Amino acid sequence: MFPVRFFSMLKTGLPCLCLVLMSVAGTAVSASPSPIQPEWVRGGPHIRFSSLTHLTAVGSGGSRNAAERDALGRLVAIFGQDIHFDERTTDLYWEVIGSGTAASWGERIQIETYFERRAGMDNLIGAEIGDFWQDGRGTSFALAVLNKPRATQIYAGRIRANLEIIGNLTNMPATERNTFEGLARYRLASVFADMNARYGEVLSVLGAPGYARGLSSGDGFRHEAREIAGAIRIGINVRNDRAGRIRGAFAGAFSELGFRTGGSNPRYMLEVDISVEPLDTPGAPVLFLRMELSANLIDTGTGAVLLPYHLTLREGHRTHPEAEARAFLAAEERINAEYGGKLSDYLSRLVPRR
């Protein structure tokens, strides 16, 4: 939904990583094989970390990496199957965070959150490897740990930050609401709301359900976005059309995305120019025509061209009327196949800036 070019930030932001993924106090993680089995392997992880303040899980494997992955997977499994972080939603959320867009809508969001994602803690922020042991016979053991008070603080802070952003995104003058910008703002708000719902589920498992009260998913914001789309009118002006075929094709693309066409004084206007010229083919039994079509979606408030579209095609027949009919049919089919996707892609890449 939101295009991001933020990977260069890794070069300048690495110090932030230590602010987020702090090691467990007092933890001694040894990578050297030892014949002495630790108490947390033999008797259970609660011996190493109190179950009152920590969630723990022990994993094993043929290597350190395998053992740590197993331990973290078992720790996440404690939260059960009811907590799901939709991949598309989390990708959109972290892209917006990493791009800096979120920072313009809320003071609480910091770049540290980006590094939590890059460190692989997508689904359980604050999870760490608290201890590690190799038995000297090819098996490794890892102890994954989550400090419940600290995790509660992290997730509660994230919810507050997201709520601030949602409030700022949806607080706009009535004149701005029924615009592409307003549409983008509500769509973005739905992403933050969906993440808050997931964070609330995690907090409930951590024993702090109060933070989740009153949270709603992004469905309400997506409904508002659809209402906004239905209130946006787009004018279409086609020069050199034939029986309204090209206008109808573009109107269909807008309608598929929930927009209305026509009306007076539309905020957006699609200006379409069509030229059809015969090609010079002396002696050929078939007459070929070349069609060029350009369509610019314009914001009438600013005069800016938001989405240019262009196609060129060549069609032929024994007679000029039939060749022209084929050209318009081919153009209509191209518009039906392409334009809706291009418009949807443009709207999905429209990132609102404060």
Q: Give the range among 109-113, 264-268, 314-318 with minimum mean pLDDT.
A: 109-113
Report the candidate in 290, 267, 262, 265 with the shortest Cα–Cα distance to residue 278. 290
pTM of the model as a whole? 0.76
Q: What is the pLDDT of residues 125-180, one digit of tens each?
A: 788 999 999 998 899 999 999 999 999 998 999 899 899 999 999 999 998 999 99
User: What is the chain's alpha carbon radius of gyration, rounded to the nearest angstrom?
Assistant: 29
* CATH number for region 232-348: 3.30.160.150
Spatial separation of the C-alpha atoms in residues 247 and 262, rounded to whole Å: 11
Q: How high is the mean pLDDT of the chain?
A: 82
Spatial separation of the C-alpha atoms in residues 257 and 9, rounded to whole Å: 35
Give the pLDDT band (50/70/90) at residue 111.
Answer: very low
In the chain, CATH 3.30.160.150 sits at 232-348
Q: What is the pLDDT of residues 24-62, one digit of tens each?
A: 333 445 555 677 899 999 999 999 999 999 999 999 999
Count the Cβ atoms, other than its own, within 10 Å of residue 63.
12
Q: What is the pLDDT of residues 189-232, one digit of tens each?
A: 999 999 898 889 889 889 898 988 888 889 999 999 999 999 99
- Confidence check: pLDDT of 78 > 70: yes
Spatial separation of the C-alpha atoms in residues 102 and 162, rounded to whole Å: 9
Q: What is the pLDDT of residues 312-339, one digit of tens each?
A: 999 888 888 898 999 999 999 999 999 9
The conformation of residue 319, written as its DSSP 8-state character, comes to S
Give backbone dihedrals phi and psi of 182, rounded to 5 degrees, phi first: -60, -40
Q: What is the pLDDT of residues 271-306, one digit of tens each?
A: 999 999 988 776 677 888 999 999 999 999 999 999
Count the Cβ atoms, other than its own, within 10 Å of residue 255.
13
Give the pLDDT band (50/70/90) at residue 311.
Answer: very high
Q: Is there a contact between 232 and 183 (Cβ–Cβ < 8 Å)?
A: yes
Spatial separation of the C-alpha atoms in residues 354 and 335, rounded to whole Å: 34
Q: What is the mean pLDDT of residues 11-22?
A: 29
Give the full edge-to-edge strand order of the sheet including 140-147: 54-61, 140-147, 128-134
pLDDT of residue 81: 56
Instruction: Please give the structure tokens belonging to residue 269.
Output: 């206007």
Q: What is the mean pLDDT of residues 119-129?
A: 66
